[in-house]
Amino acid sequence: MASLTCLVPFALLSVAACIQQAHAWSTQEETVEEESEQQEELDAQRWQLGYEQWQRQCVTHERSAGISTRIARGEAAEPGQFPYQVALLLQLNNGSLRQCGGALITLQFVLTAGHCLTNAAGGKLFLGATTYANATAAEATFEMSRRNFNVYPDYLGFGGYHDLALIRLPHEVTPSERVQPIALARQFMQQPLLQGQLVITSGWGATTDELNATARTPDQVDGLQYASVKVLEQQRCICLFLPGLVNARRHICTDGEGGRGACQGDSGGPLVYRWHNVSYLIGITSFGSANGCEVDAPTVYTRITAYLEWIMDEAGIVDSQQSTVDSQLNAINA
């Protein structure tokens, strides 16, 4: 299973190369076949070199097995404590339900994980509540269909690369003490600033590994939980997972010390950094260790600064508007 995870991207590249050269097979079959074999050998050599380099860099680090979309050992949130937190109850094409989180970034757009929307036909979105998927407790509830979904174009439908998506609400939500958009991370909020800092992750996911292994209906989900976690040194995070799963530019990791961190059902939820009394969205929950939520393993998030241009373009945010959001939040928190 581990080797398959590592090799999937290269297999896809090889297939793409064959498709592009297919027109030449009828007249140059032997040449194309030879070139294809050479390309496969070259791809294998490149992967082996990358794997060996990863081994050399990671020799001092213990490794985690696989990945799992996965707040364990957190604290209960108070109403209005995280006014940007969104609950998603998604209906899949096969009729089953999927639990995810999200972050309100404007009055009409929510940011979540791409894998949350994979095979989703629609669902419901809840704002302003600490109880999961409860229309009575929520300040605003929206019905969603595929036409509301905008998955990052390079997301393949699986794995943690480019694991990001936007949901457009049918109309703007009315802001209140319990419903407010969060400011997007600024470009200077990169790894050197964030490493070792305490940040906040939140969601309605499983609170223990025992619950993680149990299918739960929406009314069995605990109230909104949050945990303070530290931003992990990037090379250590890369080394704790299989090669190729974590990308230094596109991912941000938290340490999972004491078993605290995201768990099953927290996918798509926010990772937040407080800077000058303003909350900034720096990550979206993507995946964690397949060994469980309470094993002191990192949680991996999609790094917002790597996708700022796409997010702002698709959500119609101009920099002056973002600055206005920053100013408004500063005033609220003054």
Q: pLDDT at position 326, please?
A: 56
> Is 277 contained in some domain?
yes
Q: pLDDT at position 145, please?
A: 96
Which CATH number belongs to the domain containing residue 278 in this structure?
Answer: 2.40.10.10
Q: Are residues 190 and 110 in the same domain?
A: no
Q: Are residues 115 and 256 in the same domain?
A: no
Cα distance between residue 106 and residue 242, in whole Å = 36
Q: Are residues 194 and 295 in the same domain?
A: yes
Q: Are residues 289 and 190 in the same domain?
A: yes
Print pLDDT tens along the chain (334 aa).
332 222 222 122 222 222 222 223 233 334 445 556 665 665 555 545 554 554 555 755 554 444 444 366 678 999 999 999 999 999 999 999 999 999 999 999 999 999 999 999 999 999 999 999 888 999 999 999 999 999 999 998 877 889 999 999 999 999 999 999 999 999 999 999 999 999 999 999 877 655 544 455 655 566 899 999 999 999 988 888 888 889 999 999 998 776 677 787 899 999 999 999 999 999 999 998 776 676 678 899 999 999 999 999 999 998 755 655 555 555 554 5
> Is 148 contained in some domain?
yes
| DSSP E strand stretches across the chain | 75-76, 85-92, 97-104, 109-112, 120-127, 140-145, 149-151, 165-168, 183-184, 198-203, 225-230, 251-254, 270-275, 278-288, 299-303
Report the catalytic residues: 115, 163, 267
> Is 24 contained in some domain?
no
Q: pLDDT at position 41, please?
A: 62
Domain count, the chain: 2
Q: Are residues 296 and 256 in the same domain?
A: yes
Q: Are residues 147 and 191 in the same domain?
A: no
Q: What is the pTM of this model?
A: 0.76
Q: Are residues 195 and 300 in the same domain?
A: yes
Task: List the domain range (segments joined by +) for residue 267.
Answer: 183-305
The DSSP output letter for 215 is -
> Is 202 contained in some domain?
yes
Q: Are residues 209 and 284 in the same domain?
A: yes
Q: Are residues 191 and 142 in the same domain?
A: no
Q: Are residues 104 and 244 in the same domain?
A: no
Q: Are residues 318 and 177 in the same domain?
A: yes
Q: pLDDT at position 319, please?
A: 75
